[in-house]
Structure 1
């Protein structure tokens, strides 16, 4: 396993991944290019455990309120708050684990698109 992802890098990953949850045409390759340098398994965990609980509800509502782009500062603030609550409360941590299971099931159609885009970006980087 490589080096752990530092806080600033994580914030960039959160902001980038939030764009996968907007109600609009998504350019997966464009966003994947911003995060493809990180290990795929780490990105998958960040996607489902940190970003999906914050931004996933947007795409699951009948009329999503965010259709163009999430505010990066809002995403970072909300994910940090989520992680802080998980550290502080065992009860919240259990609830969070249930939410993660829920998002893994309901958003399972999004991750393969993200994963394929990341793999395409990694492959194109090898050829350059």
Structure 2
């Protein structure tokens, strides 16, 4: 996956964390040309750790779409911190497990719209 394709996948998956009705079918259409397991990994290891707080606030800041440049910068920063800190990696492992549990419905909804 090129950097441009990855950014496109980031932006598509981030739609699951906005404060409007989520179009899971559209997310599936935008990501269906890639390995589903890689999309799932990106969802829970890269997107959810950055975007999940938007769904957990009383008044979410992001209603319609995340800013792609800010999203990419936030993910790159998180990945860099994860790479450079043993403690951050351990903390993120726990966070990712919780996110996979808490937001398991997101992957189920996306996956059911993939063509078999």
Q: TM-score, normalised by structure 1?
A: 0.84
Structure 2 stretches of 5 or more lacking a match?
none
Q: Based on CA coordinates, which of the two structures has the bigger radius of gyration?
A: 1
Q: What's the RMSD between the two structures over aligned residues?
A: 1.3
Structure 1 stretches of 5 or more lacking a match?
124-128
Q: TM-score, normalised by structure 2?
A: 0.92
Q: Which residue of 2 aligns with 1:126?
A: none
Distance, in Å, in 2 between the alignment partners of 1:9 and 1:82 is 19
Runs of 4 or more off by more than 3 Å in structure 1?
A: none
Deviates more, 1:53-62 or 1:39-48: 53-62
1:79 Cα offset (Å) = 0.6
Asked whether 1:58 is paired with 2:54, we answer yes
Distance, in Å, in 2 between the alignment partners of 1:106 and 1:96 is 15
Within 5 Å, which residues of 2 pair with 1:1-128?
A: 5-117=1-113, 119=114, 122-123=115-116
